Structure 1
Amino acid sequence: MISSDIQKTIGSIYCVGRNYSDHAKELNNPVPKEPIIFTKSPACIVPFAGKIFLPDHLGRCDYETEIAVQLGSDLYQAEQNQVLEALRYVGIALDLTLRDKQNELKAKKYPWDLAKSFVNACPLSKFRQLASSQEIEELEIKLEVNGEVRQQGSTKQMLFSIPDLITFISQHIPLRSGDVILTGTPANVGPLKNNDYLVAFLNQEAIAEAEIVRI
């Protein structure tokens, strides 16, 4: 599990697909009119630090850099003011995706689970406490791979804001304290190679870095 002074036990992981229009377009997907929600298994969490080991025999594995938030209280059919009160912690996650497997599953109209919940499929940084509810609307992320900027995005570019996403999820699914929400990835996702070195930034601060090892 991820170690941090404020880290609580992680419950479920909810993910949001196509929350940046440029990312939807780069994968030839329609821009959604409401949030697309899927899950990753908590068993896939690995620290976004040191070395991240990924099975090479599973084929192409793409990075998708995302703002991750963790809830500090339960929510069900919540109003937005309740969501803002429940938002406690923020960090960065990689929603690693087996792209060939995902495309195969999508073609068959099957769920994406096998492409999203393989071993170490959710590298997660340490969380830090949000300074205020306003901060959630002013977050920026960036991923560098081998010193080259690959992804950049901000909450202002999201199709659905983080409070709106969580409000939407809570209308359908009971959320629990400790649950983590991955809020979507900006454009320019791409494959990871052996020995790639990743550094992730939140609001210009490098908060996670790791080397990829394909085994």
Structure 2
Amino acid sequence: MGAAQVKIGSRGTRKLVCVGRNYADHAQELGGEVPKAPLLFLKHGTSVITPPDKIHIPTDMGPIHYEVELAVFMEKDCKNATPAHAIKKVAGYGVAIDLTARAVQEAEKKRGEPWVMSKAQDGFAPIAPVLIPPHHIDLDDTELWLQVDGVDKQRGNTKDMVFKVDTLLSYISSLMTLQAGDIILTGTPAGVGPISAGQKVTIGLKSSKGGEATATFEVEERPKPPEGVVTFPVEL
């Protein structure tokens, strides 16, 4: 109800701006403090996959964790916008997974490195190919959920966000221009955990205003790069 099948990225997704620790329960489960300002990081447009694409996980980077998130799709460019103005630039909403190489991320944190290897790889942003129009989403009452092989792993609600969507858009727009086709991933509730090859991951969204979306992704091991491609050992 209130959704349309779309080809995500068809408007030219250049970047995904992602928000960390935006649910207090998730910050606590990872032993981190709730931030006083939004914690931002980036994924590239090539991180996006949609069914029937499969999640391909690397085998040399430790556990790969799922994180279900509300996705915000920009329809118009947005720069230095107030919350009320920024929210009008949104094309619609959906549900996505922020895949994270957790051991790599912890190593990057300790070394003071950006979260590029742990967060921004190709295929690390699986997204349901459904765009829900704004009038079918209540941003203060939308349930997000994730299952692995049919077993509930995450269930949360946008009412528990530390920073609301309009605040996030305004803040991000003060730092960088949000462009048409860009995607904002708004944080994950508690319950994150690892996935393995051979499993199926299903994500879903259901809003009190009727908007719904689901998608299922099969998980496989990522093929190794062809001979001659430069790689380095992963330091965990």
Question: TM-score scaled by structure 1?
Answer: 0.92
Instruction: Answer whether contact 1:70 1:181 (CA < 8 A) is retained.
Output: yes
Superposed CA RMSD in Å reads 2.0
Instruction: Answer whether contact 1:54 1:119 (CA < 8 A) is retained.
Output: no
Name the SS of the counterpart of 1:110 in structure 2.
Answer: coil
Give the corresponding residue for 1:41. 44
Answer with 1 or 2: which has the greater Rg: 2
2:99 is aligned, of 91, 96, 105, to: 96
**Pair 1:74–1:98, CA change in 2 (3 A):** same
1:83 is aligned, of 71, 86, 107, to: 86
Give the corresponding residue for 1:178. 181
Give the corresponding residue for 1:125. 128
Give the corresponding residue for 1:63. 66
Give the corresponding residue for 2:170. 167
Give the corresponding residue for 2:218. 211
Distance 1:45 1:162 in 2: 21
Distance 1:167 1:127 in 2: 24
Bigger CA drift: 80-89 or 51-60? Answer: 51-60
Sequence identity (%): 33
Instruction: Answer whether contact 2:96 2:128 (CA < 8 A) is retained.
Output: yes
Distance 2:213 2:183 in 1: 21
Letter in 1 for 2:200: Y
**In the TM superposition, what is the alpha-carbon distance from 1:51 to its structure 2 partner?**
2.7
Letter in 2 for 1:45: V
Task: Please say if 1:12 is aligned against 2:19.
Answer: no
Structure 2: gaps (5+ residues): 223-236
Distance 2:8 2:173 in 1: 27
Number of equivalenced pairs: 214
Distance 2:52 2:188 in 1: 20
Give the corresponding residue for 1:152. 155
Give the corresponding residue for 1:197. 200
Instruction: Answer whether contact 1:130 1:136 (CA < 8 A) is retained.
Output: no
Runs of 4+, deviation exceeding 4 Å: none
1:22 is aligned, of 20, 25, 47, to: 25
Structure 1: gaps (5+ residues): none
Name the SS of the counterpart of 2:215 in structure 1.
Answer: strand
Name the SS of the counterpart of 2:60 in structure 1.
Answer: helix
**In the TM superposition, what is the alpha-carbon distance from 1:63 to its structure 2 partner?**
0.5
**In the TM superposition, what is the alpha-carbon distance from 1:171 to its structure 2 partner?**
1.2
Please list the CA deviations of residues 53-91 of structure 1 after superposition, one character each: whole Å capped at 9, or x if unmatched.
222222210001111111111111101221121111211
